């Protein structure tokens, strides 16, 4: 089958590894089922040659059917408040619509798949007459909350940030303390809130929402969303396709920090606690010290991916760790700067626990490796993910911060020891392994995620 004869699907992710990695995985899957895939990215190839993107691009060039198309980064529209980074991403995407339109007119794809940050491109899809879907990169429970946002808005006369710890109720998900909602949801006057509000509507107008999750992980949320219980009565519930968990394949993984794997080879089975906080997680100098002290007193083996605090040079990191820490823990601990090949680390038999920021890709990678989690959220929708993970899926236990936002060394020591050494920790491990088996089943030939993906391919390939 020649390249020209394949139907093309265009995928449009927001910038950042957490967005690009699952998009490339789904793209590879579609290519293996006879489609051609083009991934549209804003900026120049060089700007996108960050962490996984560079290796992902390398992989793409290996397949004639998976390619990247770059559209120039537009100037930031006026009126975006300084510091509202979320609104900035939404606005830049909207400003790129003319470039996207030109590209779509030329390639005329069978479908356009949008990251939710790129929702304003749905207008371009409609204008050019291309069936438009969302590729939703967080969990089904997050989708439930997003679909329900207009209902929550109508129920409350004040911003949800004013509700403090009061629970917010959404069908199919556990009660969420209002202050665990994503930051943009907390202030109804903010530009980013208005974007999420508009996005909620666009989801309902799409041809479908493809979710990187599987029913077995979140049955209640999936049932509620599909039954239309989360959608406002005035709107249509979009078809929902759970096609996950799609996690980074080994061939495209960013191999930086590869010395971790050699070090893990020297460690006993299931003995190592892995600590990694996503592609952007950073701690204050005080928090780094507390974390190091907790790890040291716990006596556990550990592999810790650490970044310098905001505004600090990486070379200064040594000075931020307690005096002599690296030396005292050298037989049982490894500290790596900035990046580790997380997927492969989690798959390594020496790893027995994961302290995660609860980014959805990280959660899926832990589930697919059967590694139990301690949840320590930092940004985006991670606090909400932790509620789902702890209360509903029961695949993690929370690491609790004090009133000043700092997690103490005692809390770290206690939770780490519990995870690695207690009966409760063993039960958590068993539950995670059961979730892993079910998730793998969903992806197998007879599985429901596989069926959902094939259903989509059938729609697009004709
Ligand atoms: N990642 C990695 N090594 C690191 C940090 C992150 O491989 O040191 C990968 C991780 O495996 C995951 C992605 O980057 O696939 C992060 O996505 P996630 O949704 O967990 O968090 P985000 O970075 O979007 O907050």
Residue with the smallest CA separation from ligand 1 atom 15 is 361
Q: Which of 33-42, 192-201, 255-264, 333-342 has the lowest mean pLDDT?
A: 255-264
Distance CA 163, CA 180 (A): 11
- Does this model's pTM top 0.90? My answer is yes
Ligand 1 atom with the shortest distance to the CA of 346: 11
Distance CA 195, CA 351 (A): 40
Cβ–ligand 1 contact at 18 (below 6 Å): yes
From 13, 182, 256, 359, the mutation candidate for ligand 1 (largest count of ligand atoms within 8 A of CB) is 359
Average pLDDT over residues 329-355: 95
Ligand 1 atom with the shortest distance to the CA of 362: 20
Cβ–ligand 1 contact at 276 (below 6 Å): yes
Cβ pair 257, 279 in contact under 8 A: no
Q: What is the chain's alpha carbon radius of gyration, rounded to the nearest angstrom? A: 22
Average pLDDT over residues 147-152: 98
Q: Which residue has the higher pLDDT, 3 or 13?
A: 13
**pLDDT over 60 at 53, yes or no:** no
Residue with the smallest CA separation from ligand 1 atom 7 is 342
Percentage of residues of the chain with pLDDT beyond 70: 94
Confidence at residue 57, expressed as pLDDT on a 0 to 100 scale:
54
**108 CA → ligand 1 middle, Å:** 32
Cβ pair 328, 295 in contact under 8 A: no
Confidence at residue 61, expressed as pLDDT on a 0 to 100 scale:
53
Average pLDDT over residues 158-176: 97
Q: How much is the mean pLDDT over the chain?
A: 93
**pLDDT over 50 at 134, yes or no:** yes
Cβ–ligand 1 contact at 245 (below 6 Å): no
**43 CA → ligand 1 middle, Å:** 21
**445 CA → ligand 1 middle, Å:** 27
Q: Calculate the CA dihedral of residues 212, 213, 214, 218 and round it to 10 degrees.
A: -150
Average pLDDT over residues 180-201: 97
**pLDDT over 70 at 59, yes or no:** no
CA distances from residue 140 to 117, 126, 173, 240, 449 in whole angstroms, order as listed = 16, 25, 9, 9, 13
Cβ–ligand 1 contact at 382 (below 6 Å): no
Q: Quick one: pLDDT band at residue 55, thresholds 50, 70, 90?
A: low
Q: Which of 82-91, 154-163, 306-315, 429-438 has the lowest mean pLDDT?
A: 306-315
Residue with the smallest CA separation from ligand 1 atom 24 is 18
Is this complex scored with an ipTM above 0.95?
A: yes
**398 CA → ligand 1 middle, Å:** 19
Cβ pair 217, 394 in contact under 8 A: no
pLDDT digits (tens, 9 = 90+) for 367-387: 999 999 999 999 999 999 999
Distance CA 109, CA 130 (A): 7
Confidence at residue 43, expressed as pLDDT on a 0 to 100 scale:
81
Confidence at residue 409, expressed as pLDDT on a 0 to 100 scale:
98
Q: Quick one: pLDDT band at residue 1, thresholds 50, 70, 90?
A: very low
Confidence at residue 5, expressed as pLDDT on a 0 to 100 scale:
86
51: how many CB neighbours lie within 10 A of its CB?
A: 16
**pLDDT over 70 at 396, yes or no:** yes
Residue with the smallest CA separation from ligand 1 atom 13 is 18
Confidence at residue 459, expressed as pLDDT on a 0 to 100 scale:
95
Cβ–ligand 1 contact at 339 (below 6 Å): yes
Cβ–ligand 1 contact at 17 (below 6 Å): yes
Comparing CA positions, the residue from 274, 283, 286, 290 lying closest to residue 379 is 283
Percentage of residues of the chain with pLDDT beyond 90: 87
Sign of the dihedral through C-alpha 348, 136, 208, 217? positive
Cβ–ligand 1 contact at 360 (below 6 Å): yes
Confidence at residue 68, expressed as pLDDT on a 0 to 100 scale:
96
Cβ–ligand 1 contact at 248 (below 6 Å): yes
Helix, coil or strand: residue 34: coil
Cβ–ligand 1 contact at 343 (below 6 Å): yes
**279 CA → ligand 1 middle, Å:** 5
């Amino acid at each position: 089958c020649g390249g020209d004869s394949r139907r093309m699907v265009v995928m449009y992710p927001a910038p950042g590894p957490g967005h690009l990695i699952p998009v490339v995985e789904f793209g590879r899957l579609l290519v293996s089922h006879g489609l051609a895939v083009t991934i549209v990215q804003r900026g120049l190839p060089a700007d996108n040659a960050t962490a996984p993107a560079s290796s992902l691009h390398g992989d793409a060039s290996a397949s004639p059917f998976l390619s990247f198309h770059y559209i120039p980064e537009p100037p930031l529209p006026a009126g975006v408040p300084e510091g509202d980074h979320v609104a900035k991403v939404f606005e830049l995407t909207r400003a790129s619509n003319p470039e996207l339109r030109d590209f779509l007119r030329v390639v005329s794809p069978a479908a356009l798949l949008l990251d939710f940050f790129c929702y304003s491109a749905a207008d371009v899809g409609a204008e050019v007459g291309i069936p438009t879907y969302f590729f939703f990169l967080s969990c089904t429970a997050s989708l439930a909350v997003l679909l329900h946002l207009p209902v929550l808005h109508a129920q409350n006369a004040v911003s949800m940030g004013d509700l403090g710890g009061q629970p917010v109720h959404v069908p199919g998900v556990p009660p969420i303390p209002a202050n665990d909602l994503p930051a943009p949801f907390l202030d109804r006057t903010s530009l980013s809130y208005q974007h999420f509000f508009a996005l909620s509507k666009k989801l309902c107008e799409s041809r479908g929402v493809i979710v990187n999750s599987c029913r077995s992980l979140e049955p209640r949320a999936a049932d509620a969303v599909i039954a239309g219980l989360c959608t406002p009565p005035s709107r249509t519930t979009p078809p929902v396709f759970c096609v996950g968990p799609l996690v980074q394949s080994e061939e495209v993984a960013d191999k930086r920090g590869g010395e971790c794997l050699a070090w893990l080879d020297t460690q006993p089975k299931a003995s190592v606690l892995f600590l990694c906080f996503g592609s952007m997680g950073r701690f204050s100098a005080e928090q780094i010290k507390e974390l190091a002290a907790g790890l040291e007193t716990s006596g556990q083996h550990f592999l810790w991916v650490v970044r310098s605090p905001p505004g600090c040079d990486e070379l200064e990191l040594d000075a931020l760790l307690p005096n002599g820490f690296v030396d005292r823990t050298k037989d049982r601990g490894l500290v790596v700067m900035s990046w580790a090949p997380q997927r492969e680390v989690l798959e390594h038999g020496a790893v027995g626990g994961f302290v995660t920021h609860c980014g959805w890709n990280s959660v899926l990678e832990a589930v697919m490796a059967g590694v139990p989690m301690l949840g320590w959220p930092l940004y985006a929708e991670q606090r909400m993910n932790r509620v789902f993970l702890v209360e509903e899926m029961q695949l993690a236990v929370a690491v609790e911060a004090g009133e000043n936002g700092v997690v103490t060394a005692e809390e770290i020591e206690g939770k780490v020891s519990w995870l690695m050494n207690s009966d409760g920790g063993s039960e958590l491990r068993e539950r995670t392994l059961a979730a892993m088996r079910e998730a793998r089943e969903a992806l197998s030939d007879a599985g429901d995620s596989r069926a959902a993906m094939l259903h989509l391919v059938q729609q697009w390939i004709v």
